Amino acid sequence: MRKPNERKPLVKHIYTADPSAHVFNGKIYIYPSHDLERDVPDDDNGDQYMMEDYHILSMDDLDSECVDNGCALHQDDVPWVKNQMWAPDAVCVNGKYYLVFPAKDKDGVFHIGVASSDSPVGPFKPQDNYIEGSYSIDPAVLQDDDGRLYCYYGGLWGGQLEMWQSGSFDPDAHRPEGDEEAIGPMFAEFAPSMDKFITEPKHLQILDENGAPLKAGDEDRRYFEGPWMHKFNGKYYLSYSTGTTHYICYAEGTSPEGPFTYKGRIMEPVLGWTTHHSIVQIDGEWYLFYHDCELSGGVTHERCVKYTKLDIAQDGTIKTIQPYE
């Protein structure tokens, strides 16, 4: 039996997307991007996604009202940011809360920034510059059992991930296609101070059932954007969006830096072009937070955050969700 709020928009007064959900001090906090109503055409670069700030949502439990805690960080407060504050994540380290977010710099290049607060809902004070060596979008932070902090990030097309294949930004870089090896998400370890990477960023490999890297043309399985990492029974599970085919998929590994073996789909397509999620354990059960475009009737850049229960077997297998059944 579903909970009263399950698979329903958690808030309706603003558009929200890309939810990163966490439990801090027994309470549920959701870190989404904040979609704005803009009468602009869609394009492959994502220019229609003109988010300017972050609103942190919170719930006492899954049956309670979801509260919007107001603006926690605005692009005008971040010295290096020009625009497009996209999907964020958050982590608590030694009692301090860190908002990890992507945005475009003054030259229109995506990087990852960090802001801190004594409260999980902010307001957050940004660091003066982005994390050196970071690029692209969709950061997700795993705080491992030993306390180490791992950042997963990267998105194709408008997320600019392919544009860094040479080691520097090239907007005309070749996009891998067909039987060329697909580009995986990025991986780096944060310093405990959350102000720098202490390992060189590298691409993660996602392998097929035969141990071969997924191909760029395998759009049903290859990585596109929106990485998330959770642990289950000692193994690491990388989940992500396939973008063009609109699936949320997952892959399994024994190390936080991979390689990962493709295992299957978590969710079939939702209403809208993008799909972006997080996976969190609440009161001993697992849940998927995600978005669709129900509130706007399908406008791709006017989305709403939802959640649903996740069925994970003891061997880590995740049952595929049909979002509208």
Cite the active site residues. Answer: 18, 225
- Say how far apart CA 246 and CA 268 lie, in whole Å: 7
Buried b (16+ CB within 10 A) or exposed e, 86-116: bbbbbbebeeebbbbbbbbbeeebbbbbbbb
Query: Which residue type is seen at 234?
Result: G
Tokens, residue 51: 């988010």
Q: Specify the DSSP element, H or E, that contains 107.
A: none
234: burial class by Cβ within 10 Å (0-12, 13-18, 19+)?
A: exposed
The gap between the terminal CA atoms of the chain, to the nearest Å, is 13
- Our CA angle for 281, 183, 276, nearest 5°, is 35
Q: Are 124 and 159 in contact (CB under 8 A)?
A: no
Rounded to the nearest angstrom, the gap between the alpha carbon of residue 190 and the centroid of all alpha carbons in its chain is: 17
Query: Which residue type is seen at 66?
Result: C
Find residue 102's DSSP bridge partners.
112
- Say how far apart CA 37 and CA 249 lie, in whole Å: 29
- Say how far apart CA 78 and CA 113 lie, in whole Å: 9
Sheet with 278-282: strands ordered across = 278-282, 285-292, 304-310
- Say how far apart CA 15 and CA 324 lie, in whole Å: 20
